[in-house]
Amino acid sequence: MSVAVEDVNDGVRVLSLRGELGRQAAHLLDKALLELLDHRPRLLIFDLSRVSSVWPDGLPVLLRLACTAAELDVGCCLVGADRAEVTERLETTGWLDLFEVHESIRDAVSARG
């Protein structure tokens, strides 16, 4: 798993994930997220369009992200979640309502103004 962080505009950060989202990737992602949330962006966008597979033990990192972001009043969006089968897995667990899901990064930024 690789993670790239990009500043889209003021207070909006995009985390582009590539590879498998599993236990090992979740550990690396947790560390990156804690550092990002320390800077209190107004919106975090997860671009999952290049995630090749999602393992059940990789999903809790997304739940932790959503809960921590909500506590800090940071918006949290998923992009490309259908391609990575994340939407279906989050829906099965009942966690999908914790996220805004958008077709593209542009749509996510526009929805947040």
The secondary structure of 41-89, three-state, reads CCEEEEEEEEEEEECHHHHHHHHHHHHHHHHCCCEEEEECCCCCCHHHH
Judge whether residue 37 has pLDDT over 90. no
Q: Which two tokens stand for residue 1?
A: 């798993």
Three-class secondary structure of residue 97 per DSSP = helix
H/E stretch holding 34 = helix 23-38
Task: Quote the pTM value.
Answer: 0.86
* Of 78, 75, 69, nearest in space to 15 by CA: 78
Residue 47: which pLDDT band, with cuts at 50, 70 and 90? Answer: very high
